[in-house]
Structure 1
């Protein structure tokens, strides 16, 4: 799954129609080049690819500038929803995907966002339990410093759970304007 793909679908969806330059400017204003590794060329590649896949359609073309505006199709809306939900729910997604999901989280109804984050917490808790059960069972001959990986994974998991629970609490308290409001 690509953070660029999710961000482009989300922006075109939110704007109604958009061309590559407008998408680029919006993503630059969000700092997405830093946290999602979005590149100028990847925007145009993704637009053309998603048009081929039927996720986007050309809405109009400015003959003077050559700019093509795109709109999200029904298949594009389904893809956007799938990617957005996966980015919030799946704990082991790449960090750029989570960041893209957070940037677009308000596109979801409040209850859906909370439910997805609760699934994330449940998955993280399960992984933490599995990690704890196997942490003391390193194969004989494993270098001692390799055990530091388990400490890192436990700490990262605990932090992810604490962060997700905090966001669930903030959303439950009415933070942010969500899609159903």
Structure 2
């Protein structure tokens, strides 16, 4: 997860995984299959249960029901108002604000491209993975 930088695109923080696994174990969706010890540290290896498989299949289908298009309403509203007479509007400030957004989008794109490069070191990138990026 850290290598793939999942937190940037999926909203999952690596530190929340153990909490989620324990919660899923309490719900019967996963169970501890093995405990590995290295020095003073131990880690639990989880496996999915039959109930977890059912929930996974349900959530997979549900994930495709949620709309993924989020329109930039504020940008569209601003653009629609540019034609209105407004002596208070400072076009230089508007241009700077748009350039800030462009720079932010470029930075996010660079992060995703870097994440894709890192991921190719660990797995073969099939077409679905490339489309996801």
- TM-score between the two structures when normalised by the length of structure 2: 0.47
Q: Which has the larger radius of gyration?
A: 2
